[in-house]
């Protein structure tokens, strides 16, 4: 059969991986796809670098618009990233009737609604397996593999940088700043690590998964986003003593009142498989009403793992490019006319368990005051550690795990507890999920 | 859109699950599939039982052939199992131009080659997500999600009964027979557990995965199949002392000489995520050249988890039922005209590491004799435990882990070692995989 022609926009780390893997595995990929998939045009600002990878195997240009306007191109791969020119290029590719494969989670999470609407109207596909969890085929699992299920919740380790940092903090007992510096030296964290460590990258990804799990639009603006930069090494240690690990999780859950959409450091029982995902690896846990909990694990970043996802999308698009749009998997898993919108719950309305660390004076009655406040708010205590004060020390730590409760009740309890004279420092509050 | 009509053959545990989940989640499934999927005919020998589940929502019959011959039916779900009437029904459904969804791993592993050929010729689909690892969408991951990769190997915990037994043996230090009896009482093992405990069920499943990973026909007859019924509790204990867990793995690996296809108890490092898969859960680890190792975890059996896979297939088939066959995912992942046949390696030719337990007289020179034999065969030792003999005891256990070697070299070494006068019992040999 006639080859399908692909234009590649941006040949950095991932783009280079796509080019390399597509060349190396051309024979097997063609045997799967039923026709050759070839990159015929590559656009990159750095022509010299691009030339070093591509050689004379494709037309090279520094004008990406010339690729999306090229009538010979069937599919455009957008690997430029960001919201600016990437958005323009994607919209123009759609207008030109080209299918788009993208790894751009930021773009989809923030502007996906208009992009998918435009693609739907023009009858082209937007494929985005590489936007979430790198090489793990989690978009496919959610949209197709679990299509029988009412999906109840998703909890994912979907940012490798922060998982690497948390693993190192636990392993070596080191503070955040030290480990971040090490991660930057090793290339696991970028020079400006804000998007990773403050949870923004994870929030983009959980926003996309939330949309396809529940058949709702992208709601990135309403996500609660909290990173790991203020996480103390001692909380990792206390959590461990209680049988928990701390992971940065992206969580989305359907409740009768609306959808929870949040990213924050989370205690999870060490016995859960996902608690044992270490280093820069990613894992996504999905709870469906029929299948129960399923877990998907692998490399969430890197040239070839991400290329694996981009190329899988190319094969999918190649297979259905000539098909009637109604035979295709809908972008957001549900048919466009049957998307619904569910409200995203404000943080005060979410329900979860909590880890509380209090710095208190070591004298009688303190614990009674604290537990009274919690009881008044209807909050039950599940486990507690009271550390013996060191010799000559007059303050000590109390750590408590609560039963499931509303965030606003914990907020109220914390206000009262922090007002107690015996409580000597702001309370540390982390969320805890049992993931059952 | 017009509903798609499904005929269900066999409404036991899984069939009941399919009926229930399809009814419960009808609205969401229709929103995904784009048209209603309805079971219009059900065949079962036990009409009374079938009536209790189905009521008057579908035509009931005890004649399954009347369903596959029904011109109103678009898709047939075969949940009868076994190789006899199930095969006849599937072939007749194909001849009648109906798509087939089946959970029948035994049938596909042993007679899949003719079934797929017939389906290909008639232009219908055979979907079989439910045949491997229950609700885990592993067939979809292998055929579609990882289509960019040259798949190197697969290792899976794909039989829940044996994983439950092994978990219990380790947790409680109990022998196989005791735990099997308990598993039977709890319903985790069947009255005749042979297919599970002797590895046959796992071999069916790894045969199917091997075919779609490497684009080769089903080669069940050449699989090496070894179960857990002769596994001793002390080997689980010794393995643990060395930092390993013992799991029944289905393994298939592509080598330059051919394909390894085998099921046997296997030591794996306890640090691997898959080593921590406990109870009746399933997990499949897949190594691709681009993506690296990815893991898929979930419930491998049960009414609703298996129904989740059957219904995902129904949605897929519904989507592409009206599509040109060339737009569909090929049955065996590769286009039918580009399947190849690779030889399955005889067991003597596989390469892996080994765990050896020897019962020896506790006297000087024994260890020297044994290590000399291993060295003569070119086998290196990776780790060793020599147990201190108990008071008054004259024999002791030596446990060794070897580097990777050919099975035939270990076979030769074992013959020589067992011929040593100081070796007092048949040597215990288990295989070890590092899964890196």
Question: Could you tell me if A287 and A373 lie in one domain?
Answer: no
**CATH number, domain containing residue A405:** 3.30.70.260
Q: Percentage of chain B surpassing pLDDT 90?
A: 93
Which residue in chain A has the smallest CA separation from B301?
A291
Residues whose CB is less than 8 angstroms from the CB of residue A261 and which lie 6 or more positions away in sequence, other chains included: A206, A207, A210, A219, A222, A223, A224, A251, A252, A344, A345
CA dihedral A14, A19, A20, A26 (to 10 degrees): 130
Question: Over the range B236-256, which residues count as b (16 or more CB within 10 Å of their CB) and which as e?
Answer: bebbeebebbbbbbbbbbbee
Is the CB of residue B145 less than 8 Å away from at least one CB of chain A? Answer: yes
Domain co-membership, A263 together with A392: no
Are residues B233 and B276 located together in one domain of the fold? Answer: yes
CB atoms within 10 A of CB A173: 11
In contact, A220 and A110? CB cutoff 8 Å:
yes
Question: To probe the interface with B, which of A2, A37, A147, A315 has the most B CB atoms within 10 Å?
Answer: A147
Q: How far apart are CA A143 and CA A329, in angstroms?
A: 8
pLDDT tens by residue, B118-145: 999 999 999 999 999 999 999 999 999 9
Q: What is the mean pLDDT of chain B?
A: 96
Q: Are B225 and B199 in contact (CB under 8 A)?
A: yes
Kindly identify which residue of chain B lies nearest to residue A303, measuring between CA atoms.
B290
Give the pLDDT mean for B52-68: 97
Tell whether A18 and A82 lie within a shared domain. yes
Residues A313 and A220 in one domain: no
Closest Cα in chain A to B339: A31
Q: Do B327 and A323 touch (CB under 8 A)?
A: yes
Tell whether B128 and B187 lie within a shared domain.
no
**Would B186 be classed as within a structural domain?**
yes
Run of H or E including B43: strand B37-43
Angstrom distance (rounded) from CA A56 to CA A345? 53
The answer to whether residue A26 neighbours chain B at the CB level (below 8 Å) is no
Residues B35 and B150 in one domain: no
ipTM value: 0.97
Query: What backbone torsions phi and psi does residue A100 show, to the nearest 5 degrees?
Result: -125, 135
B150 and B29 share one domain: no
User: Which two tokens mark A273?
Assistant: 């498989």
Do A379 and A322 share a domain, yes or no?
no
Element (H, E) at B157: strand B151-157
Chain A residue nearest residue B129, CA to CA:
A145
Tell me the catalytic residues of A. Answer: 205
- Mutation target to probe the A interface, by most A beta carbons within 10 A, among B294, B306, B312, B330 is B294
Tell me if B346 is assigned to some domain. no
Residue B275 has pLDDT above 90, yes or no: yes
Distance CA A428, CA A414 (A): 9
Judge contact between A207 and A113, C-beta under 8 A: no
A129 and B CB contact within 8 Å: yes
pLDDT in tens, B198-241: 999 999 999 999 999 999 999 999 999 999 999 999 999 999 99
**B156 reaches A (C-beta below 8 A):** no
As beta bridge partners, residue A252 has A154, A261
* Cβ contact, residue pair B334, A307, below 8 Å: no
A19 and A89 inside one domain: yes
Q: Measuring CA to CA, which residue among A7, A101, A2, A104 is closest to residue A54? A: A7
Alpha carbons A45 and A25: distance in angstroms, whole number = 27
Whether B143 and B132 map to the same domain: the answer is: no
In this complex, the residue of A145, A304, A308 whose CB is nearest that of residue B146 is: A308
Tokens of B282: 């399933």
Contact A116, A126 (CB under 8 A): yes
Which residues in chain A come in under a pLDDT of 50? none
B292 three-class SS: strand
Supply the CATH number for residue A216's domain: 3.30.360.10
* B13 in reach of chain A (CB within 8 A): no
Contact A25 B149 (CB under 8 A): yes
What is chain A's Cα-based Rg? 24
What pLDDT was estimated at residue B392? 84
Q: Nearest-CA distance from B407 to chain A in Å?
A: 30
Does residue B347 belong to any structural domain of this protein? no
Q: Which helix (H) or strand (E) holds B225?
A: strand B224-225
pLDDT confidence of residue A79: 97
Q: Is pLDDT larger for residue B5 or for residue B390?
A: B5
In a domain, A344, yes or no: no
Q: Residue with structure tokens 């996906």?
A: A112
Handedness of CA B209, A208, A67, A325 (dihedral sign): positive
Which chain A positions have a beta carbon within 8 Å of B294's beta carbon?
135-137, 296-299
Q: Which two tokens stand for residue B45?
A: 């020998």
* Domain count along chain B: 3
Same domain, yes or no, for B145 and B289?
Answer: yes
Active-site positions of B read 205
B261 touches chain A (CB under 8 A): no
Which 338-377 residues of chain A touch chain B by CB within 8 A? 338
- Residue where the block lists tokens 């269900």: B8
Say which of A28, A29, A149 has its CB closest to residue B308. A149
**Residue B325: what pLDDT?**
80
Domain span holding position B195 = 138-299
Answer yes or no: is A346 within a domain: no
Domain containing B38 — which CATH number? 3.40.50.720
* Helices B105-122 and B200-214, axial angle in degrees (round to 10): 30
**Is B390 an interface residue toward A (CB < 8 Å)?**
no
Using a CB–CB cutoff of 8 Å, tell me whether A326 touches chain B: yes
pLDDT given at position A320:
87
Facing A148 at nearest CB: one of B292, B308, B328: B308
Q: How many CB atoms lie within 10 A of CB B184?
A: 15
Is pLDDT at B33 greater than 80 in this prediction?
A: yes
- Interface contact flag, B148 A307, Cβ < 8 Å: yes
Q: How far is B136 from chain A (nearest CA, A)?
A: 7
Whether B289 contacts chain A with CB within 8 A:
yes
Residues in B closer than 8 angstroms to A315, CB to CB, are 144, 147-148
Query: Residue B1 above 80 pLDDT?
Result: no
What per-residue confidence (pLDDT) applies to A175? 97
User: What is the model's pLDDT at position A321?
Assistant: 82
Tell me which DSSP letter residue B80 carries: -
Answer whether A304 sits within 8 Å of B291, measured CB to CB. yes
pLDDT at B322 (0 to 100)? 77
Which helix or strand (DSSP H or E) is residue B258 part of? strand B258-269
Cα A187 to chain centroid, rounded: 20
Model pLDDT for residues B361-390, shown as the tens digit of each residue: 988 899 999 999 999 999 999 999 998 888
| B345 in a structural domain | no
- 3-state DSSP assignment of residue B306: helix
């Amino acid at each position: 059969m006639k080859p399908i022609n692909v234009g590649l926009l941006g040949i950095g780390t991932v783009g280079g991986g796509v080019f390399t893997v597509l060349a190396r595995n051309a024979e097997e990929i063609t045997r799967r796809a039923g026709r050759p998939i070839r990159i015929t045009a590559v656009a990159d600002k750095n022509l010299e670098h691009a030339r070093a990878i591509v050689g004379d195997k494709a037309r090279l240009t520094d004008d990406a618009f010339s690729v999306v306007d090229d009538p010979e191109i069937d599919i455009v791969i957008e690997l430029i990233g960001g919201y600016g020119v990437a958005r323009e290029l994607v919209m123009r590719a759609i207008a030109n009737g080209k299918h788009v494969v993208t790894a751009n989670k930021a773009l989809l999470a923030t502007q996906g609604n208009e992009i998918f609407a435009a693609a739907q109207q023009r009858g082209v596909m937007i494929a985005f397996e590489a936007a979430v969890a790198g090489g793990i085929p989690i978009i496919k699992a959610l949209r197709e593999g679990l299509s029988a299920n009412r999906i109840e919740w998703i909890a994912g380790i979907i940012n490798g940088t922060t998982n690497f940092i948390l693993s190192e903090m636990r392993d070596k007992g080191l503070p955040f700043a030290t480990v971040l510096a090490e991660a930057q030296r090793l290339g696991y964290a970028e020079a400006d690590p804000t998007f990773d460590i403050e949870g923004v990258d994870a929030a983009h990804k959980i926003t996309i998964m939330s949309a396809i799990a529940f058949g709702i639009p992208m709601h990135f603006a309403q996500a609660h986003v909290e990173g790991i930069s203020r996480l103390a090494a001692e909380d990792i240690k206390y959590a461990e003593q209680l049988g928990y690990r701390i992971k940065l999780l992206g969580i989305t859950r359907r409740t009768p009142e609306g959808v929870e959409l949040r990213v924050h450091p989370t205690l999870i029982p060490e016995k859960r498989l996902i608690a044992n995902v270490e280093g820069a690896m990613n894992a996504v846990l999905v709870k469906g009403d029929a299948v129960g909990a399923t877990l998907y694990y692998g490399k969430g970043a890197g040239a070839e793992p991400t290329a694996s996802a981009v190329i899988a999308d190319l094969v999918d698009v190649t297979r259905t490019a000539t098909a009637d749009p109604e035979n295709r998997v809908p972008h957001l898993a549900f048919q466009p006319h049957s998307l619904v919108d569910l409200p995203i719950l404000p943080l005060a309305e979410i329900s979860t368990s909590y880890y509380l660390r209090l710095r208190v004076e070591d004298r009688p009655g303190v614990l009674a005051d604290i537990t009274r406040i919690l009881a008044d708010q209807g909050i039950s205590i599940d486990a507690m550690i009271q550390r013996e004060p060191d010799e000559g020390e007059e303050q000590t730590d109390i750590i408590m795990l609560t039963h499931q409760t509303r965030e606003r009740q914990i907020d109220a309890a914390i206000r009262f507890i922090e007002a107690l004279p015996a409580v000597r420092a702001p309370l540390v509050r982390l969320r805890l999920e049992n993931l059952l």
